Amino acid sequence: MADRDTDVHDRAMRVFDAIWSVEKHQRALSLVCRRFATIRGAQWEGQFAYGDQATTDAEMQVNLGLPRMEINLIQPAAQRAFSDYRANRITVDFRPRGQASDAKSADALDGLYRADENDTRGGGQAAYDVAHDEARLGGFGAWALEPRWDDESDEENERQRIGIVPIYDADQSVFFDLDAKHQDKSDARHCFVLRSLSRAAFEAAYPDASATTFADKLTWDYDWTRGDSITVADFYETEDHSVLRRTFENEGTKERRTYDDEHLRAARENDTTLLTELRRTGWRQVSKRRIKRQRVRRWELSGSEVLEDHGYVPGTAIPIVPLFGRRWYVDGIERFAGLTLEAIDAQRVFNMVVSSMTEAAGASPFSRPIFAPEQVQGLEDTWARQNIDRAPYGLARPLLADDGTTILQAGASMTVEPPQVAPNVAALLELTSSIIAKLLGEADQPQTVPANTSAQAIELVQDRGDARDYVYMDAMRVAMERSGEIWLGQARDLYVEEGREMVAVDGEGSQSKVVIGQEAIASDGSAIVLNDLSSGSYQVVVDVGPASKTRRDATVKALFGIAAGYKDAGNMDTANALYGVAVLNMDGEGLDGVKRTLRQNLLPGGWVEPTQEEAAQMAQAAENPAPDPNLLIAQAQVAVAEAERENAMTKRIEAETRRIAAEANAEAARAKAAAALAGIDREDRAQVLAEVEAATREDRADRQDERDATMGAVDASMRVESHERGMTEGGDGDAA
């Protein structure tokens, strides 16, 4: 081992031995509490096992012939707490702080964090659940944030995302240095995460490890080797280093941005640097300052050597999130507990009383007569089957004197009565039951509410249970805030590729895309960069209240009540919007389509917060607004009037054409008639003239009909023109 590794290992072992010597009893107690609440038979372990010996699963029910009953009253209360948390999960909310940050980037951070939660296989919400359950029972849990490959199957893809992974048995595996006093351990300088490996697994993972790793006994207080297993630790250590921060100002917009010098000079994909790009686009340096910043280094080590040096981890904080149930400092030692600790003694007394009563009930439930052997001679089988055959009477021979005739005894000499439950035992059973109920709360309160109980009374009972659980939910809030801070530090180092498209998840579970370092135009026309995680400051907020398990239902109830008030006042637009928001807050099957439709309807009115994609669509719609419906109607009316006028003019032209053609035909006919008359007799001529006159009258009548039709078309055209003038004057009046 190199000299540097030797120094690191010695330093780590000294730090861990100091931690272990102080905390080993507290950690053992936490493990006892978790076993007591979850493992069948653990409530009879140790000095409470019959015969003062530890029990095994095979000996669980009978030991030395005595029953050991175990009625676990802690588990229902724990299950209620687990179900309550899972029904009301909490997550982080990033909020902008300072001029260099913006609300859209904060929303993008929210979406990226949720995506990392959902996309971590075997982790994410599962990591929170494991830590929460262990903290509820034993008082301590934890999870870790680790970088992972974005696509493990693609060797050329070097992009990473942040995974949220569980740490099992955290009270036995996660240790912070003794100088870390904050509940979230943000002031810790060292951290150890232990894991146990079999000898075969260890040799496969670390083929170059020293053979002394499996020494029978090392010089440290903690047993790093136990039989055929070995403990390996991830050792995190913080280091302080100096960082040069440069502030730039845009000459046009006067916007300011601050960057690390290392980030400014780092090469990009196009072989340029951010510093060069800033200077090219009109940014000038206005100030610089050297600050101190932390970085964290990680080693893997055994009890005898450093196994691997992983270098510096992303971010500026130890990537381990501790979660405490209830926590105190007493005698300078950090102590913690879950809901199990105070109920252990009452639960053990309850089990002992129930076992004692079970033992008594297991004896004969009937009085047993005592006879002389001569009295049951030949009747032994009958008495042996008394409890089975349930005969209405039993036979016994009289006990005679020596003369054979005097009866000394006709029946049993005495009886053995079944054991009775002592009054003090029954009182003790009732007392322990009430003590456990007071310590843990009634797990079945909601099912025991009497009929016709008001909603306010039910909510009061629920709020009382929530107040009991609030200390645990507040501890979860502290841990989630720390998780968000660690994640943000890692994201600044990992999510740096400009133009990288990443999946984000909104509060409703819908997916969207976030582009890192996306260029955009602000409302004032200036160029801005969205989702630039390297600049800006963001606050991590987690909201949790004392009525967490009914908060969403209470919100829906309140919205329905407010909407009813607006409905009664006649304001249906506001009432319908509030009903829609209430539906968006409901949980249930078959609501996805309804929620999507309602969300689209509520977005224009500002009733729901739009995502980045929805905001972009709304901005585009604002630039190309839809035409006014009244204007469309007016335009349609003008088009109809124009069509009617064109139709009337067409009819007038057709009528005039027919009139001219008819007159021409009449002149031709008269000419032909005159020529014909010249060559016929007088009598025939008179007959022909009469026929011509009749035809002329019919022709005149037809022309009159055509003139009437033409005049009607002209009148219709004039009416259309008058209507258009009225529309134009009315539009000008509106415009005026």
Q: Is the pLDDT of residue 547 over 50?
A: no
Q: Determine the Cα–Cα distance for residues 175 and 142; give it in Å rounded to an integer.
A: 10
pLDDT of residue 735: 37
* Claim: this prediction has a pTM higher than 0.85: no
Least confident of 183-192, 231-240, 264-273, 510-519: 264-273
pLDDT per residue as tens digits for the range 435-462 = 777 777 655 444 454 555 455 544 544 5
Q: Which two tokens mark 727? A: 């529309």
Enumerate residues 6+ apart whose C-beta is below 8 A from 260.
243, 244, 245, 246, 534
291 Cα distance to chain centroid: 37
Q: Is the pLDDT of residue 484 over 50?
A: yes
pLDDT of residue 594: 78
Handedness of CA 294, 189, 170, 216 (dihedral sign): positive
DSSP 251-263: TTT--EEEEEHHH
Higher-pLDDT residue of 90, 627: 90
pLDDT band at 297 (very low <50, low <70, confident <90, very high): very high
* % of the chain with per-residue pLDDT over 90: 23
Do residues 139 and 337 make contact, with C-beta atoms less than 8 angstroms apart? yes
Q: Determine the Cα–Cα distance for residues 508 and 515; give it in Å rounded to an integer.
A: 20
Amino acid letter at 495? Y
Q: Which two tokens mark 309? A: 């040096």
pLDDT per residue as tens digits for the range 688-726 = 566 656 666 666 666 666 566 556 555 655 555 555 555
Residue 519 pairs in a beta bridge with: 529
473 Cα distance to chain centroid: 15
> Measuring CA to CA, which residue among 294, 287, 256, 262 is closest to residue 275?
262
Q: What average pLDDT does the segment 423-445 reach?
A: 71
pLDDT band at 631 (very low <50, low <70, confident <90, very high): low
> Measuring CA to CA, which residue among 674, 609, 46 is closest to residue 344?
46
Q: What average pLDDT does the segment 602-613 reach?
A: 76
pLDDT mean across residues, the chain:
78
Higher-pLDDT residue of 409, 268: 409
Q: Which two tokens mark 373? A: 């052997």
pLDDT of residue 51: 42
pLDDT of residue 526: 65
pLDDT of residue 53: 45
Crossing angle for the helix pair 3-38 and 125-137, nearest 10 degrees? Answer: 70
Q: Determine the Cα–Cα distance for residues 634 and 629; give it in Å rounded to an integer.
A: 9
pLDDT of residue 437: 76
Residue length, the chain? 736
> Measuring CA to CA, which residue among 96, 154, 144, 100 is closest to residue 123?
144
Higher-pLDDT residue of 9, 724: 9
pLDDT of residue 314: 93
Q: Determine the Cα–Cα distance for residues 731 and 713; give it in Å rounded to an integer.
A: 27
Instruction: Check residue 39 and report its DSSP letter.
Output: S
Phi, psi (rounded to 5 degrees) for 298: -125, 135
Element (H, E) at 690: helix 682-735
Q: Determine the Cα–Cα distance for residues 570 and 291; give it in Å rounded to an integer.
A: 61
Q: Which two tokens mark 51? A: 């015969």
Whose tokens are 């001029």? That residue is: 99
Do residues 242 and 291 make contact, with C-beta atoms less than 8 angstroms apart? yes
* % of the chain with per-residue pLDDT over 70: 71
Q: Determine the Cα–Cα distance for residues 301 and 309; give it in Å rounded to an integer.
A: 9
Do residues 206 and 214 make contact, with C-beta atoms less than 8 angstroms apart? no
Q: Determine the Cα–Cα distance for residues 222 and 408; give it in Å rounded to an integer.
A: 78
Q: Which two tokens mark 708? A: 């009437």
pLDDT per residue as tens digits for the range 174-195 = 999 999 999 999 999 999 999 9
DSSP 51-80: TSS---GGGSSEETTEE-----SHHHHHHH
pLDDT band at 656 (very low <50, low <70, confident <90, very high): low
> Measuring CA to CA, which residue among 162, 164, 121 is closest to residue 142?
164
pLDDT of residue 365: 63
Q: What average pLDDT does the segment 229-257 reach?
A: 87
Q: Regarding beta strands 229-250 and 190-198, do their DSSP bridges make them parallel or antiparallel, or are they unpaired?
A: antiparallel
Q: Determine the Cα–Cα distance for residues 15 and 54; give it in Å rounded to an integer.
A: 34
The CA-based diameter of the chain, rounded to the nearest angstrom, is: 188
Q: Determine the Cα–Cα distance for residues 638 and 632; give it in Å rounded to an integer.
A: 10
Higher-pLDDT residue of 209, 212: 209
Do residues 61 and 44 make contact, with C-beta atoms less than 8 angstroms apart? no
Least confident of 313-317, 393-397, 444-448: 444-448
Q: Determine the Cα–Cα distance for residues 602 and 583; give it in Å rounded to an integer.
A: 12
607 Cα distance to chain centroid: 22
Do residues 174 and 275 make contact, with C-beta atoms less than 8 angstroms apart? no
pLDDT band at 329 (very low <50, low <70, confident <90, very high): very high
Q: Determine the Cα–Cα distance for residues 693 and 53; give it in Å rounded to an integer.
A: 144
